[in-house]
A and B are shown apart, each in its own frame.
Chain A
Amino acid sequence: MRTTHLSPRWSAKCAPESEGQVKGRSLLVAGVSTGIILIAGIFFVALNLVMQQGARPAPGSPAPDFTLKLYPGYRAGLPEEIRLSDLRGNVVVINFWASWCVECHKEAQALENVHRAYMDRGVVVLGIDYLDTEAPALAYLKQYDVTYPNGIDLQQRIAKAYRITGVPETFFIDRDGIVREVVVAPLTEAQLRAKIEALIED
């Protein structure tokens, strides 16, 4: 009887796969495919979230428009709900704050002082209360005898538009609605005055 020897390439290919090998290969293919689909899905969701957030308005870029509902008693002659674009023609100092923010307490008096000093010179100081409940927020405003317009950032819409990373943060906006400077720290009265003067003289 004659024995036929197959070349190694055929014998390797002809070896039947066991049931365990088939299952293993199937699970591997399925796992890898599912992983790719999952990663693609997560990437899609993350990309959408990033695109929704946008970028922080850099100096020289237009200030994102928003509406702000002002606290009763803290409207400074403005309507209950204001739009930033309605303040065009004024220098606007947008200050994000919260009553629980220790650093915000340090600049509260300075903001009120510059509001009183510049309110008749086309400067609007606008306080935006961030992640705050109403009672402590109103107590904070009363504590510092604040009179400049202040309101709550409902659903953090304004904070998201301005991409703030915490409080206090202050945006200086010129008469044309362009962001001129962003300060991510508490400001002294002297610093506030210097920055406002520069914008008035522009």
Chain B
Amino acid sequence: MMKSSICACISLLLVTWLTAGWAQAQVPAPDEPTYRIAKQLNCPTCAGRNLADCPTETCAQWKAEIKAQLDAGKSAEEVLAYFQDRFGPTVLQEPPKSGITAPLWAAPVGAAVVFLAIAGLVMWRTAQRGAPSPASDGTDAHDPFVAALEREVRAGE
């Protein structure tokens, strides 16, 4: 029973791998400029998939549009601007760093700064607490913890 389940799983994985390889092979090899531009765009229907590597009908149409515009003499920037104007900034693999998404781009840098600031502050405060007061014999007379400790030591003597 266990063996047959393992065999079934391995067969399923093998079939999936082979099918994926076949599907990948169906993506037509585009000419270089079209491919480079398509790499900068998202497939409009498959979440998170690159336009250049997607074999769907929608993506085939979009790649044909890129090629047609390049053949008509448009630059890569103009083609990308066309797609952004027509379909919105979400078609770009790297959306503009502005608007509501700006905090997401700034987040890693901000997080590093906040992390270093908090770590530095905590270390500095800990070091300050551990350092002896220069005006005393190493104890802080105003510290209630030290005073209580001294009382207990004296009581024990």
Interface residues of A (CB under 8 A from B): 2, 4-7, 10, 13-14, 16-17, 22-23, 25-27, 29-31, 33-34, 37-38, 41-42, 44-45, 48-49, 52, 98-100, 131-136, 152, 154-157
Contact = CB atoms under 8 A, between A and B. Distances in A.
Given A6-B152, A136-B61, A155-B85, A30 B111 contact: no
B45 A131 contact: yes
Contacts of A31: 115
A177 B115 CA distance: 53
A41 B105 CA distance: 11
Chain B residues touching A, majority SS: helix
A23 B156 contact: no
A34 B115 contact: yes
B107 interface: yes
Nearest to B149: A10
A52 B100 contact: yes
B123 interface: yes
Interface residues on B, range: 35 or more
Contacts of A131: 44-45, 58, 87
B2 interface: no
Contacts of A154: 85-86
B110 to A, nearest CB: 8
Nearest to A37: B114
A132 B68 CA distance: 15
Contacts of B123: 22-23, 26
B100 A17 contact: no
17 contacts: A13-B145, A22-B127, A26-B118, A29-B118, A30-B114, A30-B115, A30-B116, A30-B117, A30-B118, A33-B115, A38-B111, A45-B101, A100-B57, A100-B61, A131-B58, A133-B65, A156-B87
Given A30-B122, A48-B100, 19 more contacts: A4-B157, A5-B156, A7-B152, A22-B127, A25-B126, A27-B119, A29-B118, A30-B115, A30-B119, A37-B114, A41-B103, A42-B104, A45-B100, A52-B100, A99-B61, A131-B45, A134-B65, A135-B68, A156-B88
B144 interface: no
A1 B116 CA distance: 49
Contacts of B156: 4-5
B107 A41 contact: yes
A34 B152 contact: no
B145 A49 contact: no
Contacts of A52: 100
Contacts of B58: 98, 100, 131
Given A30-B115, A30-B122, A155-B85, A135 B65 contact: yes
A37 B116 CA distance: 13
Contacts of A16: 130
Contact of A22 (B62, B118, B126): B126
Nearest to B153: A4
A45 B104 CA distance: 8
Contacts of B86: 133, 152, 154-155
